[in-house]
Structure 1
Amino acid sequence: MQFLAYILIYPFLWLVSILPFRLLYVFSDGLYFLIYYVIGYRKKTVVENLNLVFPEKSDAEIKRLTKRFYHHLCDMVVEAIKSLTISESQMMKRMTFSNIEEIHQHENNNKSIVLMCAHYGSWEWIFILQNHVKSKGYAVYKQLGNKYFDKLVKRIRAKYNSYLITTKDTFETLQKAKNKGELTINGFVSDQSPKPWKAHHWLDFMGIHVPAHTGAELLAKKLDMAVVFFAVKRIKRGYYQTTFTTLAENPNEFKDYEITDAFFKLVEQQIYEAPEYYLWTHKRWKHRGKTAEDFK
């Protein structure tokens, strides 16, 4: 059944991926109409989230923000599909780095890197970073249910010397790399909502008390990796610029969860500057009003 789904869906994805960008975004506009007006995909969740973190905004402002978010979401979907066939030169032109020397400095210091980001802007094309660095790239991800699509996604990432690893394999994989003296740069999307009974740390995110993932910080301390935040800014449709900010050169010099707190502060800055580029379909604040004690 998984293979049948793959052979039925993959040809359509491939055909979309070979569209020139002008037509690709026409397709995105049609997808927006379908998702926003016809299906209403998670629209209730999006509006609830926006009202929750922006209580000062009017209904009209929330509606305009919701529409802009769905336009961006659909662009991200088609850009992810475009990854199937996009050329290396096109990706390098469309995903640029404002201060790549920040990464080079850590490499020159013989430090592997934990690279933290949020579900903001576009993280689909960040893998072209491998063309600018000497470190081997890994990204922690949740394995797809369909093994054929899972292999496809891994194959796409491997084109740029980036490799996907599951959470359970992360420490073992990176420990082996460290033992062999390999430099690695390791991507973590760290703004998700963890299971509250497993959370080690709670903090205020967008003014709301919630549990936070701390795995990136803990791994960095165990393996003595530098911690770097990357922010993605949308320049114009289909063009993004990434800026790096070092959170910790030597993470063990920081108190527990200070790095995680600093990461979320930077994510908040991004969201306040241009909230339409955050992934509002996730129920990020579903545990609001509770504390760690409620789950013990």
Structure 2
Amino acid sequence: MHYKIKYAPFYLLSLLPLFVLYWLSDLAFFILYYIARYRKKVIEENLHIAFPEKTSQEIQQVGKRFLRHFCTMMIESLKNLTISKAAIHKHITVKNPELIQKYYEEGRSITLYTAHQGNWEWLAFLPIFVPHQVTSFYQPLSNNYFDGLMQLIRSRFGVLCIPSDKGYRTITKLDQENVKTLNIIIGDQRPRNKSAKHYTDFFGVKTAFLVGADRIASKGKHVVIFPAFTRLKRGSYQIEFQLITDKEIPKDNFNVINDYSIRLEKIISNQPFMWLWSHKRWKDQFNQSKN
């Protein structure tokens, strides 16, 4: 109970009904969009790169809708602290859980190759829907207080949170112990300069993707699955598990990343506002356009 005292302000907020929290989300959106103009230039530059056929007005509308969704998602993530299992089933629908069950019965672990799409923080609810031990890689925050809060939000229903720098060793150890895992790995962030990367076509742009999820899957002979989020309405999402491969992945074969980028582009194109446009995904392209 001590952690409820430590994070009391967030627990109290989380107890509010979602419709009240959405009012707070709308207030946050108003401040970020109209006053702070949060990352407006980055968001619109990203959208122009991805959708060159859209007019400036259309780009602005998608950017505005994205920021509203982003604020909604942050508020929804806070609700993780107190939401009940019964309520979760009202907000998340898994279209094809039988795919995961099939591989569990076959004794197969899964790499869930996901993205900053939909409400990725609500993947913390997956232990309610799947039989595997769910794990998630995370980058520790420099602020210990908020790092602890984020781990609480993500682990409440049984997700094992693993620091990214210990991810490979931890998953390998769990494989050796014959623990059937479903490992949430986000793969759409821009790689750091010294990170291993693979370039593929993404929205018509040569784009670097992190090498890591495919190597973990290859080492552990994991099934690789992409979770496609669709927002049905505010606070209601559907997840469809899409099989990338259940075959052995040859070393230094990047078909998994290529397939992932194609699926990601398709789901983003269906609901553009659901992707994280506020990060500098195409930083090199920005620099080139300024020269």
User: Structure 1 length normalisation: TM-score?
Assistant: 0.91
Distance 1:255 1:7, change over 3 A: closer
Q: Does 1:28 align with 2:50?
A: no
Alpha-carbon contact 1:45-1:283 (below 8 Å) kept: yes
- Deviations 1:15-44, CA, capped at 9 Å, x for gaps: 321211111111111111011001111111
In the alignment, what sits opposite 2:111? 114
Match for residue 151 of structure 2?
Answer: 154
Residue type matched to 1:30 in 2? L
Structure 2 contact 244–259 (Cα < 8 Å) conserved: yes
Asked whether 1:89 is paired with 2:82, we answer no
The equivalent of 1:213 in structure 2 is 210
Alpha-carbon contact 2:214-2:257 (below 8 Å) kept: yes
CA contact (8 A) 1:196 1:287 kept: no
2:286 counterpart of 1:256: no
Q: Which amino acid in 1 is paired with 2:110?
A: I
| Deviation for aligned residue 1:92 | 2.4
| Residue-by-residue CA offset, 1:130-172 (whole Å, 9 max, x unaligned) | 1122211100111111223222322333321111111221122
Q: How do 1:4-153 residues align onto structure 2 when only pairs under 5 Å count?
A: 10-153=7-150
* Aligned residue runs from structure 1 range 228-267, under 5 A: 228-252=225-249, 256-267=253-264
How far apart are residue 189 of structure 1 and its match? 0.9
Distance (Å, rounded) in 1 between the aligned partners of 2:111 and 2:92: 20
Q: Is the 8 A contact 2:225 2:244 kept in 1?
A: yes
Quick check: 1:186 aligned with 2:177?
no
Instruction: Give the secondary structure class of the aligned counterpart of 2:81.
Output: coil
Contact 2:191–2:197 (CA under 8 A) maintained in structure 1: no
- The letter for the 1-side match of 2:184 is G
Q: CA deviation at 1:56?
A: 1.2
Deviation string 1:83-136 (CA, Å, 9 cap, x unpaired) is 121122112221110000111111111100000111111111112221122211
**Secondary structure at 2:160's aligned position in 1?**
strand
Check whether the contact 2:224–2:243 (CA below 8 A) recurs between aligned residues.
Answer: yes
Retained in 2: the 8 A contact 1:114–1:220? yes
When normalised by structure 2's length, the TM-score is 0.92
Comparing 208-217 with 9-18, greater Cα deviation is found at 9-18
AA in 2 matched with 1:27: L
1:282, CA displacement in angstroms? Answer: 0.6
Figure out how many residues of one structure are paired with residues of the other and give that number.
285
1:170 counterpart = 2:167: yes
Judge conservation of contact 1:154–1:163 (CA < 8 Å) in 2.
no
Amino acid at match of 2:178: G
Q: Does the 8 A contact of 2:218 with 2:250 survive in 1?
A: no
Q: Which amino acid aligns with 1:149?
A: F
| Greater alpha carbon shift after TM alignment, 271-280 vs 245-254 | 245-254
Say if 1:206 and 1:132 are closer, same or farther in 2 by CA, change over 3 A. Answer: same
Aligned amino acid, residue 146 of structure 1: N
- Could you tell me whether the CA contact under 8 Å between 2:138 and 2:162 is conserved in 1? yes
Q: Give secondary structure in 2 for the equivalent of 1:96.
A: strand
SS in 2 for 1:220: helix
* Amino acid aligned to 1:145: S
* Root mean square deviation of aligned Cα: 2.1
Contact 1:209 1:289 in 2 (8 A): no
CA separation of 1:47/1:153 partners in 2, compared to 1, >3 Å: closer, same or farther? same
Per mean C-alpha deviation after superposition, the further-off stretch among 88-97 and 257-266 is 88-97
Comparing 95-104 and 16-25, the one that deviates more: 16-25
Structure-2 separation of matches of 1:281 and 1:175: 33
Instruction: After the TM superposition, list the runs of 4 or more consecutive aligned residues in structure 1 that deviate by more than 3 angstroms.
Output: 6-12
CA contact (8 A) 2:111 2:217 kept: yes
Q: 1:198 aligns with which of 190, 195, 199?
A: 195
For structure 1, the residue ranges without an aligned partner over 5 or more in a row are 1-5, 291-296
